[in-house]
Amino acid sequence: MNYTNILAVPKFSILLLYIRIFPGTRFVLITKAAIGWMICHTLVFLFLVAFQCTPVAHFWDATIPGHCLNTPVLVYTGGAFSIIEDIVIMFLPVSELKNLNMSRRKRVGLILMFVLGSL
């Protein structure tokens, strides 16, 4: 299991939890779209990391002729996507929580709990 998969598993877990907590059809559709994005992102970066060198053995043995992708670009791009996904996951339930029938103070407290829990 590589770093890309390790980052994705907790995000999938949180998104699936959101589907259980907030069963509204619009919210579920948005959450499933986020899950679809996460699946695509995880698979693309999994293959990019696994096959970053051509031939693959060039990664371990530099004496084998070949070339590799620009690793810093790959790392920074993956990091940027991960941060954006984290922010989306953090603020996704806010739209559902703000419509709850409770005092403003309790709603704000509940929103803060979800946001801080995502960190």
Domain, as residue range, for 106:
3-118
Mean pLDDT of the chain: 87
Asked if residue 3 has pLDDT above 80, the reply is no
Taking the C-alpha atoms of residue 33 and residue 68, their distance in angstroms, rounded to an integer, is: 32
Query: Number of structural domains, the chain?
Result: 1
The whole-number pLDDT of residue 119 equals: 65
Longest dimension (CA), the chain: 67
For 17-46, the pLDDT digits (tens) are 999 988 888 999 999 999 999 999 999 988
CB neighbours of 49 closer than 8 A, spacing ≥ 6? Answer: 2, 3, 4, 74
The whole-number pLDDT of residue 97 equals: 81
Taking the C-alpha atoms of residue 109 and residue 41, their distance in angstroms, rounded to an integer, is: 32
Taking the C-alpha atoms of residue 106 and residue 31, their distance in angstroms, rounded to an integer, is: 24
For 34-86, the pLDDT digits (tens) are 999 999 999 998 888 888 888 888 888 888 888 888 889 988 998 899 999 99
